[in-house]
Amino acid sequence: MIEFLNPDADVGIENTPYDLSVKVDGGNATTIGLLANGFPDSVPFLDEVGKAIGRLRPGINLKAYNKGNATIAAPEKLLGEIGGDCVGVIAAYGH
């Protein structure tokens, strides 16, 4: 007889809803940043993410940023630029 076991474990902590969000109305005032962290392929990956967003929400402005070095935190100057230009940011890395 074969017995199949479910490998899923019970969750040890309570789920917390993700409450950070950005109102995306499709208007030209909505600018979303795309932050690549410097790993190989992070820029091409975010280019594709940007194309998908453009297809879903054509009126949204996208602005690309690249941290350039995956081993450091984003510099304060870059974070200030993103915060001044964008209502939200998508950060990603490639491999």
Predicted confidence at residue 13, as pLDDT, reads 82
In angstroms, rounded to a whole number, what is the distance separating the alpha carbons of residues 91 and 73?
Answer: 12
- What value, to the nearest 5°, has the Cα angle with vertex 51 and ends 86 and 42? 75
Predicted confidence at residue 5, as pLDDT, reads 79
Predicted confidence at residue 94, as pLDDT, reads 59
Domain ranges for the chain, please list them. 31-92
Identity at 6, one-letter amino acid code: N
In angstroms, rounded to a whole number, what is the distance separating the alpha carbons of residues 72 and 38?
Answer: 10
Confirm if 38 and 70 have CB atoms less than 8 A apart.
yes
Residue-wise pLDDT tens for the chain (95 aa)? 888 878 887 778 888 887 777 777 655 578 999 999 888 888 999 999 999 999 988 888 999 999 989 888 999 999 999 999 998 999 987 56
